[in-house]
Protein backbone atom coordinates (compact mmCIF):
# COMPACT_ATOMS: atom_id res chain seq x y z
CA UNK A 1 0.00 0.00 0.00
CA UNK A 2 1.26 3.44 -0.90
CA UNK A 3 0.37 6.85 0.52
CA UNK A 4 0.32 10.22 -1.20
CA UNK A 5 -0.57 13.62 0.23
CA UNK A 6 -2.12 15.99 -2.30
CA UNK A 7 -3.65 19.46 -2.46
CA UNK A 8 -6.84 19.70 -4.51
CA UNK A 9 -8.27 22.94 -5.88
CA UNK A 10 -11.92 22.80 -6.91
CA UNK A 11 -13.45 25.27 -9.36
CA UNK A 12 -16.79 26.76 -8.14
CA UNK A 13 -18.90 24.38 -10.27
CA UNK A 14 -17.24 21.35 -8.66
CA UNK A 15 -17.33 22.40 -5.02
CA UNK A 16 -20.61 20.67 -4.22
CA UNK A 17 -20.00 17.48 -6.16
CA UNK A 18 -19.12 14.25 -4.29
CA UNK A 19 -15.77 13.89 -6.01
CA UNK A 20 -13.85 12.51 -3.04
CA UNK A 21 -16.60 9.92 -2.52
CA UNK A 22 -15.75 8.49 -5.96
CA UNK A 23 -12.13 8.06 -4.91
CA UNK A 24 -13.34 5.65 -2.24
CA UNK A 25 -16.10 3.94 -4.18
CA UNK A 26 -14.55 3.63 -7.64
CA UNK A 27 -10.84 3.43 -6.83
CA UNK A 28 -10.89 1.65 -3.44
CA UNK A 29 -8.78 4.36 -1.88
CA UNK A 30 -8.66 5.26 1.79
CA UNK A 31 -8.82 9.02 2.13
CA UNK A 32 -7.83 11.13 5.07
CA UNK A 33 -8.99 14.73 4.72
CA UNK A 34 -6.45 16.93 6.49
CA UNK A 35 -7.95 20.32 5.64
CA UNK A 36 -10.96 21.59 3.69
CA UNK A 37 -11.81 25.18 2.88
CA UNK A 38 -14.18 27.11 0.64
CA UNK A 39 -12.79 30.50 -0.36
CA UNK A 40 -14.59 33.79 -0.95
CA UNK A 41 -14.62 33.32 -4.72
CA UNK A 42 -16.25 29.91 -4.01
CA UNK A 43 -13.34 27.79 -5.08
CA UNK A 44 -12.63 24.90 -2.75
CA UNK A 45 -9.40 23.53 -1.41
CA UNK A 46 -8.81 20.15 0.18
CA UNK A 47 -5.60 18.65 1.47
CA UNK A 48 -5.89 14.92 1.66
CA UNK A 49 -3.88 11.80 1.99
CA UNK A 50 -4.67 8.92 -0.35
CA UNK A 51 -3.82 5.39 0.65
CA UNK A 52 -4.05 2.35 -1.57
CA UNK A 53 -2.21 0.44 -4.31
CA UNK A 54 0.00 2.79 -6.32
CA UNK A 55 -1.86 2.16 -9.59
CA UNK A 56 -5.20 2.98 -7.91
CA UNK A 57 -3.76 6.23 -6.53
CA UNK A 58 -2.57 7.17 -10.04
CA UNK A 59 -5.98 6.30 -11.51
CA UNK A 60 -7.73 8.32 -8.81
CA UNK A 61 -5.53 11.33 -9.52
CA UNK A 62 -6.20 11.00 -13.26
CA UNK A 63 -9.94 10.95 -12.45
CA UNK A 64 -9.58 14.15 -10.39
CA UNK A 65 -7.74 15.92 -13.20
CA UNK A 66 -10.46 14.82 -15.63
CA UNK A 67 -12.98 16.54 -13.40
CA UNK A 68 -11.06 19.86 -13.72
CA UNK A 69 -9.78 19.56 -10.18
CA UNK A 70 -6.29 21.00 -9.69
CA UNK A 71 -3.97 18.38 -8.16
CA UNK A 72 -0.66 19.23 -6.58
CA UNK A 73 1.58 16.99 -4.53
CA UNK A 74 1.86 18.29 -0.97
CA UNK A 75 5.13 18.60 0.82
CA UNK A 76 5.77 16.65 4.00
CA UNK A 77 7.28 19.56 5.83
CA UNK A 78 8.21 23.18 5.39
CA UNK A 79 11.06 25.18 6.87
CA UNK A 80 11.43 28.96 6.86
CA UNK A 81 14.69 30.76 7.63
CA UNK A 82 13.13 33.61 9.59
CA UNK A 83 16.50 35.13 10.59
CA UNK A 84 17.31 36.21 7.02
CA UNK A 85 13.77 37.28 6.08
CA UNK A 86 13.43 40.89 4.91
CA UNK A 87 9.60 40.84 5.23
CA UNK A 88 9.11 41.73 1.57
CA UNK A 89 5.74 39.97 1.59
CA UNK A 90 6.20 38.14 -1.73
CA UNK A 91 5.41 34.79 -0.14
CA UNK A 92 2.24 36.12 1.50
CA UNK A 93 0.74 36.94 -1.90
CA UNK A 94 0.65 33.28 -2.91
CA UNK A 95 -0.31 31.81 0.45
CA UNK A 96 -4.06 31.30 0.22
CA UNK A 97 -4.67 29.91 3.72
CA UNK A 98 -2.82 32.95 5.16
CA UNK A 99 -0.28 30.83 6.96
CA UNK A 100 2.23 33.50 5.91
CA UNK A 101 1.21 37.08 6.56
CA UNK A 102 2.72 40.41 7.43
CA UNK A 103 1.90 41.69 10.89
CA UNK A 104 -0.01 44.96 10.26
CA UNK A 105 1.69 46.68 13.21
CA UNK A 106 5.31 45.54 12.84
CA UNK A 107 5.27 44.75 9.08
CA UNK A 108 7.21 41.63 9.93
CA UNK A 109 6.48 38.23 8.44
CA UNK A 110 4.57 35.84 10.66
CA UNK A 111 4.22 32.14 9.93
CA UNK A 112 1.36 30.14 11.37
CA UNK A 113 2.45 26.59 10.61
CA UNK A 114 -0.89 25.15 11.70
CA UNK A 115 -2.63 26.90 8.79
CA UNK A 116 -0.09 25.70 6.24
CA UNK A 117 -1.46 23.21 3.74
CA UNK A 118 2.02 22.34 2.42
CA UNK A 119 1.24 23.42 -1.13
CA UNK A 120 4.80 24.71 -1.61
CA UNK A 121 3.78 27.81 -3.59
CA UNK A 122 5.74 30.14 -1.31
CA UNK A 123 9.04 28.41 -2.12
CA UNK A 124 9.32 29.90 -5.60
CA UNK A 125 7.87 33.23 -4.48
CA UNK A 126 10.68 34.01 -2.04
CA UNK A 127 13.44 35.98 -3.83
CA UNK A 128 15.93 35.00 -1.15
CA UNK A 129 15.10 31.28 -1.27
CA UNK A 130 14.41 31.16 2.44
CA UNK A 131 11.63 28.60 2.29
CA UNK A 132 12.22 24.92 1.80
CA UNK A 133 9.80 22.05 1.50
CA UNK A 134 10.59 18.41 1.95
CA UNK A 135 8.62 15.99 -0.18
CA pair distance 70, 27, nearest whole angstrom: 18
E runs forming strands in 53-121: 70-73, 77-80, 100-102, 109-111
Distance of CA 118 to the CA centre of its chain: 5
Distance of CA 130 to the CA centre of its chain: 19
User: Quick check: 95 binds ligand SF4 (CB under 6 A)?
Assistant: yes
Residue choice 23, 48, 64, 118 for contact with ligand SF4 (CB under 6 A): 118
- Using CA of residue 12, residue 73, residue 34, residue 88, what is the dihedral sign? negative
Residue choice 11, 72, 125, 132 for contact with ligand SF4 (CB under 6 A): 125
Q: How far is the CB of 27 from ligand SF4 (least distance, A)?
A: 26
Q: Annotate each residue in 27-56 with x if it binds ligand SF4 (CB under 6 A) or - if it does not, as one string.
A: ------------------------------
**Which spans of this chain sit near ligand SF4 (rule: CB under 6 A)?**
78, 85-91, 94-95, 97, 99-100, 109, 116-122, 125-126, 128, 130-131
Amino acid sequence: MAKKKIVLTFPPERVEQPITYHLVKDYDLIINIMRAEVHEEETGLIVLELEGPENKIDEGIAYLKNQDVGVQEAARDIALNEDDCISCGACTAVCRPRALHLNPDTFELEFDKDRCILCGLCVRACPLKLIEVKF
